[in-house]
Amino acid sequence: MAVDPRLADFFYNSDSLFFSVIYQELFLKPGANFLISLKGFGWTPALYFFPDLVQYFALRTIFLSLENGGWELTHLSYSAFQWIFLLFGILFLLQKFTKEKISYEISSLVLSFGFLIGIILILFKQDLFVFLPGFHGGNLVVLCWAWGFFFHWEEYNSKKSFVLVAGSVFLFSLSDLLFIPYFLIPALSLHLFDWLFKERSVHRLQKIVYTYFPVFLGIVVSRIVFQILRKNSFVLFPGTAAPKKLGEAIAGWKWENFFHSFYYLCKENWIYLVLIIFLFGILKFLPKKKEGANLNKPIHLFLILGIIVPFVFLLYGFIFGLTGKSGIQGIDRYFGEILLGFLGISAVCILRISYIPIAKFTFGCLCFLGILFGIYSSYSKGLGLAHYPTKLACLDELADKHHWKRGVASFWYVRPMRIFSKKVLEPDDYLYDLMLFYWQNNLNWFERENPPYTFAIIDGVDEKIVRKKLGEPISISYCDKVPIYTFENPEKSLEFIKENQGKIDLWKFSTSRY
């Protein structure tokens, strides 16, 4: 990881370090206090409580005793654990449908294939969001587990299953709203198709409604809790990102926006989409064993998840004006369900071919050789753990020379510097026009008067406004051709901070955060 700058920069980017900064504030800063350190913290629109937050905090605590490499090991172990948890979730779901224990031999085939795909994704730097905290990857991890609980409840109707379904749906939908369409669209589609084409009766419809009662109970309770959390003034939860009003969106509807987004999405994910359809076709012709009929449900679940759900997301984006050249299709983390659809339908295919000895042996050998080749490719590039890019080393050197402590920077600099700087630099996160970026930051950082601002990284912030707010720099340095201003004007810094305090008071009043 550390020897591949492009890969490391993505793995340790500002978004993925959100929980790192929270952990640092809660447990590692001098005088850290759980009841004080979180006060005024602006969260992300998705709460990411589980599995992201719980998993990250647990792993970081395990590596707490390490003087060096603790953050890197936490990130790397998080990635491995997240991927393994996802693969075991697929096996868990398939076992619920086969109604018998999947043998260790077949499980090993599925896991080997999953590890091979994970290695390929990392080596080719594709879909890396699924390995990281705070990128909606947790949805993909928990989805199959939630489906497994749900279909177990549908069959046995036990109290334990009811609690598991309601509790998991509550927790997962509270953590990330995207879980709801991921879960509901494929499951509801299966039940509605079953009702339309197999047993169209009132009794069957009543049974479907009864089956979904714990699901909707969990969703309703999660929305109630979410609204309560939004209204608190201790930790600031922003709520979900609001699309355009429907009337405004309809006025701006252009079909070329939808088709542009559709083309872009297909171009970026064509391999997954083609393989999902191809494997679906293969599964229709492979010989079925006694559990074959049971495997029809997961086949169609993963097909709908990988093909239909992304289309529904695009349609939603078009209706509310979120498609076009800068639309949601360019944000790969919103379409990770395509990857999970591919992995799931591949796992079903592996279960089917596992009864053909020559196919099972050949496939196992290919996966084993692929994993060995991936390990060799990684090893040949060199091994390294510590993440300390040249730009950060340059900033630390300048900080030592000019006695920097606190500065102005844009979003992509702030969290990597706070976590990995060896000079304990504490830049504050500003937008281009030096307005405050409220989310993923603690408002107290912007309001404190000491230490004063002594540097500004002129990348993502307006140079003229920086000079206006903090005065003329006494020197200009460069790191990777990015200008860094040094200031010695505590009076101007204090004026700027007073402006921040006024902006924060106005924002709190306008959002009822007092």
pLDDT digits (tens, 9 = 90+) for 240-295: 655 556 556 666 667 777 788 888 889 989 999 999 999 999 998 876 665 444 78
Share of the chain above pLDDT 70, in %: 92
pLDDT for res 319: 79
Phi, psi angles (nearest 5°) of residue 47? -75, -30
pLDDT for res 235: 85
pLDDT for res 246: 56
273 within 8 A of 254, measured Cβ to Cβ: no
475-479 and 482-486 beta bridge pairing: antiparallel
pLDDT digits (tens, 9 = 90+) for 481-500: 999 999 999 999 999 999 99
Strands (DSSP E) contained in 302-416 are 406-409
HSE at residue 262, side-chain half, CA atoms within 13 A, is: 13
pLDDT digits (tens, 9 = 90+) for 375-406: 888 777 766 788 899 999 999 999 999 999 99
C-alpha R_g of the chain: 25
Instruction: Pick the more confident residue, 2 or 493.
Output: 493
What residues form DSSP beta bridges with 409? 429
Phi, psi angles (nearest 5°) of residue 477? -115, 175
Q: What angle do CA 282, 309, 339 make, to 5 degrees?
A: 60
pLDDT digits (tens, 9 = 90+) for 412-448: 999 999 999 999 899 999 999 999 888 888 888 999 9
181 within 8 A of 240, measured Cβ to Cβ: no
Give the H/E segment covering residue 313.
Answer: helix 309-319
pLDDT digits (tens, 9 = 90+) for 316-374: 877 776 666 666 656 778 899 999 999 999 999 999 888 888 988 999 999 999 999 98
Q: Which of 119-128, 196-205, 248-257 has the highest mean pLDDT?
A: 119-128
Least confident of 118-127, 233-242, 309-318, 374-383: 233-242
Buried b (16+ CB within 10 A) or exposed e, 330-366: eebbbbbbbbbbbbbbbbbbbbbbbeeeeebeebbee
141 within 8 A of 82, measured Cβ to Cβ: yes
At 243 the three-state DSSP class reads coil
- pLDDT range class, residue 514, cuts 50, 70, 90: low
pLDDT digits (tens, 9 = 90+) for 11-48: 899 999 999 999 998 888 887 777 677 888 888 888 99
pLDDT digits (tens, 9 = 90+) for 138-180: 999 999 999 999 999 999 999 999 999 999 999 999 999 999 9
Euclidean distance between CA atoms 360 and 278, whole angstroms? 19
| Mean per-residue pLDDT, 179-202 | 91
Buried b (16+ CB within 10 A) or exposed e, 285-317: ebeeeeebebbebbbbbbbbbbbebbeebbeeb
Q: Match 């996160």 to its residue by tokens.
A: 429
pLDDT for res 75: 94
Q: Is the pLDDT assigned to residue 215 strictly greater than 50?
A: yes
pLDDT for res 245: 61
Residues in the chain: 514
pLDDT for res 353: 87
Give the H/E segment covering residue 475.
Answer: strand 475-479
- What sign does the dihedral 313-319-321-326 (CA atoms) show? positive
